[in-house]
Amino acid sequence: MTMGETTRVLFVGLGNMGGPMARNVLSAGFDVTVFDLDSARSAELVAAGAIEATSIAAVGAEMDVVMTSLPGPPQVEAVGAELLAAMRPDTIWIDLSTNDLDCARRLQIAAAAAEVHLLDAPVTGGAEGAEAGTLNVLVGGKTDVYERAQPVLDAIGERHVLLGSHGAGYVAKIASVSLCYLHSVCLTEAMLLGVKGGVDPQGMLDVIRHSTGRSYVADRYGPEILNGGYDDTFALALAVKDLRLASEMASTVEAVLPFTERVLEQYRSSLGTFGDDAPHLIAMQTIERENNLIFHEHTADGPKVRRE
């Protein structure tokens, strides 16, 4: 099958990442059907020309490609079982979710039994990258399936690369995203060291953004930490899930990651204070509180130091 405008794509999961990705697949000219447990999320896509599925089972056998963007392994496995029961042989299933190796292996066995071609293809680049279609897609699977899927991958990302056999994409995503959380902690500590030593918060961030410590995290999340917004495009509970997956994967591959474990514990403790749905960078406020200095509470005369 050669993909083109008549290729039928089912997109399952229309959250902060899935919704924009589905819209970009639709904009690229594919025949798109969408499904989400929250039907309100489908409305904008239906208005743009997509078809809303009433259930996965009702449409799975009609699709050439199925794309899933789900919160984590339990959801991927549950939806995957329903999909595999519905999809016909030779369908391509592209899972864009963050997943673990144990779930990945079970999915691959089940997909092979159903004669469905499974690619793991988690993405990096954040919600803004999903909106712009500039994501980095990390792919694991067979070369011939990846080559067939390239047109639809082009619709969601400016870069996609086959990293190895099935599971390689999941591994690369977890390794990569864990570094984002570690960077956030290091950025906050560096900022606090500078500010408590007398440097203006914005001035300290500017120094970091123009030094060897510069990073995406400093550029994108530094301002969110300073303004107290803490980036509400991604929930704290999802960040904890990502770090937990990194910890579990480290055990699976026998890697020793002490700093990752410490950061995971910090994020977990933040859940009890701020709740699952709080913005992910609110975990940085635990470090601010330990230092009696909340960045966004500083005055025109300098930072306001908390004495609690």
Q: Distance between CA 265 and CA 215 in Å, rounded?
A: 23
Cα torsion through 73, 76, 81, 85, rounded to 10: -160
How far is residue 6's CA from residue 135's CA, in Å, rounded to a whole number? 24
What angle, rounded to 10 degrees, do the helices at 201-209 and 168-196 form? Answer: 140
DSSP for residue 141:
S
- The one catalytic residue among 142, 173, 196, 241: 173
Place of tokens 């259930």: 55
Contacts of 31 (CB under 8 A, 6+ apart): 5, 6, 7, 8, 9
Closest CA to 231 of 174, 179, 181, 178: 181
Write the CB contacts of 90 (distance below 8 Å, at least 6 apart in sequence).
1, 115, 116, 117
Round to whole Å and give the CA distance between 18 and 36: 10
d(CA 171, CA 255): 13
| Pair 21, 69: CB distance under 8 Å | yes
* Helix, coil or strand: residue 232: coil
Check if 173 is active-site.
Answer: yes
Active site residues: 173
